[in-house]
Chain A
Amino acid sequence: MKTRWTPTAVVFAVVAVLLLGMTQAALADGTDAGTDVDNLATVDYEVGGVGQTPIESSPTGNSTPGVGNGTVTTFVVDQKIDLTVATVDGAAVQVTPGDNDQVLTYTVTNDGNEVQDFSLTAAAASGTWGGATDNFDPDNVEIYVDANSNGTYEPLTDTGTYIDELAKDATISVFIVSDIPLTRVGGDGALYDLVAQVAEGGSAASQGADILSDDSGIADDPATVQIVFADAAGTADAVSLPGRLGRPHGHQDVCGRQRPDQRCREPEGDPGCGHPLHDHRGE
């Protein structure tokens, strides 16, 4: 079973936010919801040494020989609701006070068997990781969906705020974008969860209603597509992730004015970020 809540830890700290990825294997392709699954058995036999016309099965019993005289035993495949939310950032995202449009990157995967929409929420979380604690919320927190599937936030391109028509087994990137207040200091941290909620699909460019109920308890009807949650947690998914909020001691290193697509992977800075700058405000 999957954990339904996949928090994405977005730590906007003068030094870093860390999202540890918690990935879950997506299921293999599932049979589409609404598919009829038909079964038909046949019996061959002899009477007195003479071969008889085969007889096909039916749900209630058939004894009329011949092809076409049986009736399939059938059920319709129901709609499986399942999803996975995971983080892409391998470590805390380091930010500098005053930076705008800082990005945390997540993925949402449709593990169900039908095209779905997903509504998205950025939930401020709390917690401690790596000796530092979430102690602020960034400004202007927004969520955008990766429109061109390149995994990189592009303000002019990625403008959708919900996931539209995600095919079964498909994965798409989602960005939590926010501004870091100038008043923050080194060691501050902010932790965010991305919550994805399965919604009705089937209508492109239109956000479907959230799917909140499970039909499993409703009287069974083999001919009707029912909604079945893959696990007890329902239709929203989030994973609790620890967030690196800051270095436990010493000066707070700040990754130099990184752009959204140029995040530090480690609080100490890595080659991709250049040499960490010293943030005097953190002292």
Chain B
Amino acid sequence: MKRNAWTEEIRFTKEGGHAMVRFSIALALAGLALLAVTGIARAAEEGSIELKAVAEVEVEVLREDGGTDVERVKASTVVPGDEVIYTIYYTNVGDKTADKVVVTNPLPGEMVYVDGSATGDGAAVTFSVDGGKTYGIPGDLTVLDADGNERPATADDYTHIRWTFQTPVSSGEGGYVDFRARLA
């Protein structure tokens, strides 16, 4: 088909004014063919869960009565010491129930986890202090100090946060997990 289109284009070029019109049609046909192929491929790759991560900060907004409200806005003005709220939204966009759902979020290298801030309805929250190799609850985690001695881990030591859902996520169901971290 493509070959024919090019052949037509050359022929019409010789004939003058209609050439460009014909050429456009030929390209359009080729484009439709490509789109169709792409569409099939994407459908095959579709997963069952859509994952969306947002980063926000809290700002004080002045009310008309002179008071202030705290609102969340997209994180854009952030300097060291500021706290950022990360929220990960999940939705089962497939037609089957998703089991054993686990959301994992490596902490960005510049961020320090705010102790006690991770939440997630129906999920057990665990942390890693070894780059995601193993996970545990805060009281069970240890790290080695400069002298090689084991000490209890603190929020500063966390490298990953993990939410392990206790129940399946049905088709169409969704929710979010979140945590706070401070820019070092």
Chain A residues packing against B (C-beta within 8 Å)? 27-31, 33, 35, 37-49, 52-53, 55-66, 70, 73-75, 77-80, 113, 215-216, 220-222, 224, 226, 228, 230
Contact = CB atoms under 8 A, between A and B. Distances in A.
Contacts of B77: 78, 215-216, 220, 226, 228
Contacts of B42: 64
15 contacts: A29-B184, A31-B110, A37-B183, A39-B108, A41-B103, A41-B104, A43-B51, A45-B100, A45-B101, A52-B48, A58-B53, A63-B49, A80-B79, A216-B77, A220-B74
B184 A57 contact: no
B106 A40 contact: yes
B75 interface: yes
Interface of B: 42, 45-55, 73-81, 84, 86, 88-91, 93-94, 96-106, 108, 110-111, 169, 183-184
Given A47-B48, A222-B76, 15 more contacts: A31-B183, A31-B184, A40-B106, A41-B104, A42-B103, A43-B90, A44-B102, A47-B96, A58-B52, A59-B52, A61-B89, A73-B55, A80-B79, A80-B81, A222-B75
A29 B81 CA distance: 10
Contacts of A221: 76
Nearest to A33: B79
Contacts of A35: 110
A201 to B, nearest CB: 16
Contacts of B74: 220, 222
For the complex of A and B, the 9 pairs showing the least CB-CB separation, nearest first, are A30-B80, A220-B76, A80-B79, A57-B53, A61-B52, A63-B50, A57-B51, A222-B76, A65-B47
Nearest to A79: B79
Contacts, number: 153
B55 A44 contact: no
A29 B52 CA distance: 31
A43 B102 contact: yes
A30 B112 CA distance: 12
Nearest to B80: A30
B94 A75 contact: no
Contact of B105 (A37, A39, A215): A39
A35 B169 CA distance: 37
A70 to B, nearest CB: 7
A31 B53 contact: no
A59 to B, nearest CB: 6
Contacts of A80: 79-81
Contacts of B108: 37-39
Nearest to A229: B79
Nearest to A50: B99
Given A45-B100, A80-B80, A56 B46 contact: no
Given A41-B53, A62-B52, A63-B51, A78 B78 contact: yes
Contacts of A53: 47
A138 B23 CA distance: 86
B54 to A, nearest CB: 6
B48 A45 contact: yes
Contacts of B48: 45, 47, 52, 63
A66 B93 CA distance: 16
Nearest to B91: A61
A62 B51 contact: yes
Contact of B79 (A42, A63, A66, A230): A230
Contacts of A75: 55, 75-76, 78, 84
